[in-house]
Structure 1
């Protein structure tokens, strides 16, 4: 028998405030059509004043626990993927742990920007297959609205806030690709490309800073690297794009999503797309899309799912799992 990290439940949370593209027309030289044609985004959710990343993460966590039929003390660990934690420390994960009433185990954050959930998922899988944990809650949560330069039309229209959560638990498989659970992971980074996507502030500079991005360069790297990491993750277990039921990509830009699907030889009908409703929610985008995909009835038990993301760093990666 082979130990596998199997999906037990998913959930998500979105702030109440919805901002349509038209709202930007009053403050920026832009339009609904311009934003949609370049990104596929039609609206995004923005956190309320005083609403924090850990608040949203906790709400998504509760939804995932309810979906799995579990309570907080059934968990051994919590991993939160975020670049916008409430404080420099403590971690958002320990704050979620306290809010959930989880009195055992451990919690920590992972920071790999938009690829954060992939990194967190790979770490959770490693904890389970190594026997260090039996059940891990993984959350992607972001309040990117707090690091937007609202005068920069090339970036501020692209991002939104939200949180998604997924629970992995230890299960037994036969050691084949028919097993439920995480089947392979592939993680990468290359710090030489730091300047094409970054925030121009931080603790050591004593400033919060704003997100800065070279859009054309990010697009070029994204399509190539996302297709490559997804292919690599599949090849590790002897599979190809033809075996995939669903691709659940990082929801950054519909053109990147479509370009990656084309390189993988997959029709858009097999891609879960939520970017039109949420914008780019960074580390939250994949768990949000997984939860919405299940809610829509797209992702079903036994489906082979490939999920991939790229973010500042550059950091990128993919996970193949059977739902």
Structure 2
């Protein structure tokens, strides 16, 4: 028997604390760091971001997004038989127990559903989708909850204006289920560990103490050059696998990192910007959460409709990148 996988529900959640560029500029000025709304917008397209309160973790954001995705799918929590959660900011040091297990407990899932975290930074959600697609098609699972959840504000160096203005907190989720007709048409994943130094948190724990830096480091110019190259290539690879062409894509939903990267990718794929879903202006770079946040926003406001072809793609530290071509 042939199995297919399909997205049957989406959800997202942003913590209530919204910080505009001007508010952030004022906070940085108090530290002696100069920036402005114009400087941030011109370089990234970002106007605001959301920060979680100190007692709120990735699992808490993920649970809220998951509840909305389950509601949209018309499912109860115990209908889920697998949770895959993508995050670079897990609840616990060392990443265990997994944030996926914490989410399972907070959702009240008691059926023994498998739960696992995926770490591919900003590409994590695409990696998780590809894994879920394979597991559903193999027949081992029927209903998979995929979550991207991040509290990146915890690892930002607010003395470095080139990075601290770019990132925010949030979560997005989808439910993928076994289907009689194809939903996920193609996935393609890549990594290049030789570029691990261009985007990383270069610290580690030794004897209970952080050795090195616990703050995010990014070589912005190197990341930009890599991103615009690999996003075009992986999109075309996914199209080739599915036997489709770029002009058949109704919507491009890329990782929401930087508007200039998104514009460059669209141009290379010969897609107009009115076919690109952009939410980075409202929440900044939320890493693994950014793609499902944008997808959920576009579904709920009516842009993305059933039957349309959507290209999802991400790129992040590792260096990792990937794409998923989906029929909604």
TM bin (shorter chain): over 0.9
Q: CA deviation at 1:203?
A: 3.5
> In the alignment, what sits opposite 1:107?
115
Q: CA deviation at 1:284?
A: 0.2
Describe how 1:4-153 pairs up with structure 2 within 5 A: 4-26=4-26, 27=28, 28-87=33-92, 88=94, 89-104=96-111, 105-153=113-161
> 1:137 is paired with a residue of what secondary structure?
strand
Cα distance in 2 for partners of 1:204, 1:187 equals 32
Cα distance in 2 for partners of 1:4, 1:131 equals 9
Cα distance in 2 for partners of 1:204, 1:267 equals 49
Cα distance in 1 for partners of 2:305, 2:102 equals 32
| 2:325 aligned with 1:320 | yes
Q: TM-score, normalised by structure 2?
A: 0.95
Q: CA deviation at 1:240?
A: 1.1
Q: CA deviation at 1:25?
A: 2.1
Q: TM-score, normalised by structure 1?
A: 0.96
Cα distance in 1 for partners of 2:267, 2:25 equals 33
> 2:3 is paired with a residue of what secondary structure?
strand
> In the alignment, what sits opposite 2:188?
186
For the structure 1 residues 204 and 126, does the alpha-carbon distance in structure 2 shift closer, same or farther, using more than 3 Å as the test? Answer: farther
Q: CA deviation at 1:23?
A: 1.7
| 2:300 aligned with 1:295 | yes
> 1:313 is paired with a residue of what secondary structure?
coil
Q: CA deviation at 1:3?
A: 1.6
> In the alignment, what sits opposite 2:269?
264
> 1:70 is paired with a residue of what secondary structure?
coil
Q: CA deviation at 1:204?
A: 4.8
| 2:202 aligned with 1:200 | yes
Cα distance in 2 for partners of 1:204, 1:221 equals 32
Cα distance in 1 for partners of 2:123, 2:204 equals 19
| 2:149 aligned with 1:172 | no
Cα distance in 2 for partners of 1:6, 1:191 equals 31
Q: Which moved more, 1:194-203 or 1:160-169?
A: 194-203
Gaps of 5+ in 1: 174-178
Q: CA deviation at 1:49?
A: 1.5
Q: Deviations over 1:55-86 (max 9, x none)?
A: 00011000101111110111110000001000
> 1:203 is paired with a residue of what secondary structure?
strand
Q: CA deviation at 1:295?
A: 1.1
Cα distance in 2 for partners of 1:70, 1:43 equals 33
> 1:155 is paired with a residue of what secondary structure?
helix
Cα distance in 2 for partners of 1:268, 1:118 equals 22
Q: CA deviation at 1:296?
A: 1.2
Q: CA deviation at 1:202?
A: 2.9
| 2:250 aligned with 1:248 | no
Cα distance in 2 for partners of 1:237, 1:251 equals 24
Q: How many residues align?
A: 317
Q: Which moved more, 1:195-204 or 1:96-105?
A: 195-204
> 2:15 is paired with a residue of what secondary structure?
coil
For the structure 1 residues 8 and 204, does the alpha-carbon distance in structure 2 shift closer, same or farther, using more than 3 Å as the test? Answer: farther
Cα distance in 2 for partners of 1:240, 1:8 equals 25
